[in-house]
Amino acid sequence: MDTSASTAWWLLTGVLVAAELATGTFYLLMLALGAAAGAIAAHLGLGSSLQIGLAALAGGGATAAWHYHRMRSPRSAPAQSNRDVNLDIGQTVHVPAWKADGSARVPYRGAAWAVRYAGPGTPAPGDHVIVAVQGSELQVAPATSS
């Protein structure tokens, strides 16, 4: 069976998309765009060197643009303090008393939780906001009164 150049490019595009789906590496999708550009060049009847050149230019350019975009975008917070990952972040707990080491036990969501002070200064009893969760311990800071 003879395969045309455009068919080979489309098969490469499909392999790259499948690899991206399996690995979750968005860069492979950019390379698949390059392979699609090579396929379009083959459909237009361009020579193999132009097909490869256009594929490299489109795939490399898309990869470089994506890398530049990722470097300029802000980093997300670590999972332990990211509200998108842990919905407890930002919730308020009432701490009736602190131990000397900056820890306490508080009722939260129907259970007693270990709490560690993560705010500035010395801990004082009162309302505190959860700023991070490490294992089964809540990291809290004083709640600001608005």
Give the whole-number percent of the chain exceeding pLDDT 90: 63
pLDDT in tens, 70-120: 888 887 777 777 777 788 888 999 999 999 888 999 999 888 999 999 988
pLDDT digits (tens, 9 = 90+) for 40-60: 999 999 999 999 999 999 999
pLDDT at 85: 75
- Structural domain boundaries in the chain: 5-72, 79-142
pLDDT at 145: 62
CA dist., res. 131 & res. 19, Å (int): 38
User: Chain centroid to CA 53: how far?
Assistant: 32
pLDDT confidence of residue 122? 86
- In CATH, the architecture of 79-142 is Beta Barrel (2.40)
Rounded distance between C-alpha atoms, residue 25 and residue 7, angstroms: 24
CB-based contact 130:90 (threshold 8 Å): yes
